[in-house]
Amino acid sequence: MTFDSQCDLAALVYEPGDDPDALLRAFADDLNARGARAVGLVQFGERLDGAPRLAATLLPSGEQVSLYQDLGAAATGCRLDPGQLLAAGGRVGSAMDEGADLVIINRFGQQESEGRGLLHLIVRAISADIPVVIAVPAKRFDAWIRFADGMSVRLRCDRRALDGWWASLSARGRGNAPAHTTVCEVFK
CB 71 within 8 A of CB 79: yes
Q: Hey, where are the domains in the chain?
A: 9-158
The rounded distance, in Å, linking the Cα atoms of 15 and 44 is 16
pLDDT at 11: 96
9-158: CATH number: 3.40.50.300
The rounded distance, in Å, linking the Cα atoms of 59 and 49 is 27
Residue ranges of the chain with per-residue pLDDT less than 50: 1-6, 47-51, 175-188
Task: Please state, in angstroms and as integers, the Cα–Cα distance from residue 147 to each residue in 38, 116, 122, 182, following that order.
Answer: 23, 11, 11, 22
CB 28 within 8 A of CB 42: yes
**Would you give the distance in Å from CA 128 to the centre of its chain?**
16
Average pLDDT, the chain: 80
At 129-149, the pLDDT tens digits run 999 999 999 999 999 999 898
pLDDT at 102: 96
pLDDT at 7: 72
Pairing mode, if any, of strands 132-137 and 102-105?
A: parallel
The rounded distance, in Å, linking the Cα atoms of 28 and 25 is 5
The rounded distance, in Å, linking the Cα atoms of 64 and 58 is 6
pLDDT at 134: 95
